[in-house]
Structures are given as structure tokens and as C-alpha cells.
Amino acid sequence: MYDADQQKVLLNRTKAFLQAKEKLDTDNVDALRDVLRFHEWRYYVQDNPAIADPEYDQLFKQLQAFEEKHPDQVTPDSPTQRVASDLTKEFPEVNHLRPMLSLDNSYNEEDLRDWDRRVRSFLEQDAKVEYSVEPKFDGASIAIVYEDDYLRRGATRGNGTTGEDVTPNVKVMNTVPLKAPFSENGIKRIEVRGEVMINKAHFKHFNEQRMAEGLSILANPRNAASGSLRMQDAKEVAKRGLEAYLYQVGIAEDAEGNSMLDEAVTTHAESIALLNKLGFKTPTDEIRVCTRMEEVLAYCREWEEKRDDYPYEIDGMVIKVNRFDQQEQCGYTSHHP
């Protein structure tokens, strides 16, 4: 997302703004926004903050003060626009751009070997198949639409065809960019999908706080994530520490409405790498591309070992045919690919 040179420049600008060497005005306010976005990315996506919280707050307040004085200059992707100022009254229903299907389940190695044989039967004889393997995150699924690089809508899965429009609650998640440069890759409209989660440590802390306040405790991180996503007050949602991990591109279209899937990227692993490069939190470190079923099984076993120490709840592993053209050749039922 940011190479070493860009980071150096942004860190220098950070210093300049912190020392208030530059007076904030119409010409450099965007530079401050870029600085704040960079630090959000370091903090939330990279888990490696470059400045201390009070310094970030100081910069944020500088921007807030400027925007209060110049409301006409507030941009929709300004870091100040994450927390919605008013309450959402209800969630309108929205249709997903493409149905959100379910995953088919396997519970043992024999099931998986059968599935591998079935996949190969759909492809040309002796075709090479790659599988990408990643954790199945136990949270609440979400579909986020960007158009002309701006976040336009965030919706819950609902019944797979229709979900609830929870855009204000999606916007408060710092792991979700309000603007991402999809257009640089020729993409005008894109629906990205993922899982909203609360990490285990945050969940524990959150429940301890609730207990201290005499409130009921929440059953598990998944319930906490899906309940939080549907809260009416986006400011409350912001306090819950929700994070979104993006694991799928639903649709990607150019200006003429033609599909860009298989144009901009040709495999699932590449699509995740692209989302990561554009500033999203993705299971990049967790994905492994395997060429043989033995490797898939070994990687699943590896996760059985480390699952308890992983910061998020997972409830299995997801195995995907990596190449999009091969995914198409395998097809899907009304329930799952």
C-alpha cells in the first residue's frame, strides 16, 4: 500500500503537522488527511503504529477544527467522516449485486479427497489445479460496494440475496477505507466481501467492562460482531473495535459494466493481494496456495495446532479453487460454489 519512500515522506509530514510548522489551509488540508489515513493504516491494518495515540489525536483534532470552520471543504472520505453524527433509525433492505452463497462442508480427509476428484472432473483432463487455503472466520459476513473509488454501501449477508444496509456502521470500522484507488486498476464498481469480527482480547476486555457496569455479557465474538453491526448508534459501534477481514471479490466492473474479474486479477490469491495493496485488511499472511491435496491437508492440520493462539475465532478452513476461470468451469449450485 505504501512503499518505503512514501512512508518516509508521510512521516516527515507528520512531524511538520505535529510541530504546527505549517498552518492548516485549503492547500494543505488534503496532505493532513493523507497523513491521518497513513497512520490509520499503520495502526489498524499493519498493527504497527508509527506514532503514539495522543499524537494521532492532536492531528485529528487539527483537521476537525479546520473542517468545523470550513464545512464546505469536508470531503466524504475525510478521516473525520467515520463516526456518523446522527442515529440510524432502521436498516433498509438492499439487494446484493450477486447472491452471497454458502460454503459446502467437509468434515474429514476422505470428504476432501472426494471433493478434489469432483473438482478435477469438471476441468480438462490433467489440468493443473491450485487450491488456496485460508481460515474460515467466525464473525458476521458483509458486502461492501465501492463506486468511483468511494465507499457507497455496506450490507449484511441477510438471506444471501437481500441484506440490511448498515453503511454508517461499516464506515466507523477503521480497517475499511472510505476511499480506495480501484480506478487505477480500471475498476469503476466493485463489491468486496468479508467477515466482521472482534478479536478475542478485545472481546474479553469488552465483556469485563460490561460486567463492571452490571450489563449482561455477550456469548461469543461472533454474536458480539453481528450484534454490533446492527446497532442503531454508529458511535456505539465505533467503541466495539470491529474489524473487517476481506476474503472475496463479489463483482468488479469497468465503466461499461464489463466484468474485470479475470482482467485485473486472475486468481483468488491475487485478488486478495490487490485488496491488501489498496489498503484493506485481508488474510494475506494466512493464505497458502497449494498444488496438491496432501499440502492442503497438511496446512489444515497446521491450523488445528495454532487455532487456539490465533487472535480471532475461526471455525474451520476454507479451500478455494484458486484460478477464476477454473472456478467458472466448476460452476455452482443454488447454495454453494
Residues 6+ apart with CB under 8 A from 14: 35, 38, 39, 50, 51, 55, 59
Amino acid at the residue 193: R
The active-site residue out of 89, 136, 200, 239 is 136
Residues 6+ apart with CB under 8 A from 329: 122, 123
Q: Are 170 and 126 in contact (CB under 8 A)?
A: no
Strands 314-321, 131-137: pairing is: antiparallel
Q: How far is the CB of 35 from ligand IVH (least distance, A)?
A: 32
Tell me whether residue 195 or residue 243 sits nearer to ligand IVH (CB atom).
195
Cβ-proximal residue to ligand IVH, closest one: 141
Tell me whether residue 85 or residue 333 sits nearer to ligand IVH (CB atom).
333
Q: How far is the CB of 154 from ligand IVH (least distance, A)?
A: 14
3-class SS at 29? helix
Tell me whether residue 24 or residue 296 sits nearer to ligand IVH (CB atom).
296
Selection from 156, 195, 157, 154 nearest residue 316 by Cα: 195
**Cα–Cα distance for residue pair 230/233, rounded to 1 Å:** 9
3-state helix, strand, coil in the chain (%, to 5): 40, 20, 40
Catalytic residue check, 23: no
Tell me whether residue 61 or residue 336 sits nearer to ligand IVH (CB atom).
336
Overall residue count recorded for the chain in this entry: 337
Q: How far is the CB of 84 from ligand IVH (least distance, A)?
A: 24
Q: How far is the CB of 29 from ligand IVH (least distance, A)?
A: 38
Tell me whether residue 39 or residue 157 sits nearer to ligand IVH (CB atom).
157
Q: How far is the CB of 135 from ligand IVH (least distance, A)?
A: 6
Contacting residues toward ligand IVH, per CB under 6 A: 101-103, 134, 136-137, 141, 157, 195, 247-248, 318, 336-337
Catalytic annotation, residues: 136
